[in-house]
Amino acid sequence: NAFNERRAANFEAAAQLARTVASIRDINKLLPAIAEVISARFDYYHVGIFLNDDTQEYTSLVAANSEIGKQLMAGGLQYKIGQAGFVPSVAQTGYSRVSQDHNQIKSVSDSQEFQKTQSELVLPMKIENKVLGVLDMHSDKTYAFDEVAIEILSILADQTAIAIQNARAYEETQAALAESQILYGTVIKQAWQTNVRVENKLGYRFSGTI
């Protein structure tokens, strides 16, 4: 019963995240909302979202729910992709990493600020074979990530990757539309000014007599 209840709760969390993803198009609002939902529904004290740059050289923290994460984000936390550590490793390979007991497994968190962390799960956010970034989740409990949680969170990571791709496409479309509207307005204005200068005006003047 406990297993079934936990599984049902996890799927409910996935459904809530899906609703969040569907309702927000602005990526700057979407990613913090995703971090907050995962933290609240799965009881992880820190959830961070990293995005890879276009050159696949660095991955940067762009959203977090915890105060520690927000401070690190404000300080411009980033890792060189492929360096030692869970986050840069997953950002490069696209394979998840998990540590269930940091006291026994010395693959500690990438950042020493997370002293409360007992378990950590890092999942790739990818479209096909391209890694867009990673989800980094920390718990203050050992063995916090069972098979059910990892299964659901992997689905959420895939949903987040799709949401990021869609949000970027929407932003690009809006930018292109705005640019075309400005260009169209400029062309119409120039055409009207040219027409006013060259057009011979025809008309009649009434002299008052018949």
- The SS3 of residue 94 is coil
- The SS3 of residue 130 is strand
Q: Which residues of 168-185 are buried (b: 16+ CB within 10 A; e: fewer)?
A: eeeeeeeeeeeeeeeeee
- The SS3 of residue 137 is strand
CA distance 15 to 107: 32
DSSP secondary structure letters along 3-15: HHHHHHHHHHHHH
What does the pLDDT read at residue 204? 60
What does the pLDDT read at residue 108? 46
What does the pLDDT read at residue 77? 94
| Segment 119-123 long-range contacts (CB within 8 Å, at least 24 positions apart) | 119/143, 119/144, 119/145, 120/86, 121/96, 121/97, 121/145, 121/149, 121/150, 121/153, 122/86, 122/87, 122/89, 122/90, 122/96, 122/97, 122/98, 123/90, 123/96, 123/153, 123/154, 123/157
The reported pTM is 0.75
Q: In a structure prediction context, what are the per-residue pLDDT tens digits for the chain, which is 210 residues long? A: 666 777 777 777 777 777 777 777 788 888 999 899 899 888 999 999 999 999 999 999 999 999 999 999 999 999 999 998 899 999 999 999 999 987 765 544 556 778 889 999 999 999 988 999 999 999 999 999 988 889 889 988 988 898 888 877 766 676 666 666 666 566 666 666 666 655 555 556 666 666
8 Å CB contact between 38 and 32:
no
CA distance 76 to 85: 17
Closest to 136 in 3D by CA, of 82, 81, 88, 103: 88
What is the residue type of 64? A
What does the pLDDT read at residue 64? 96
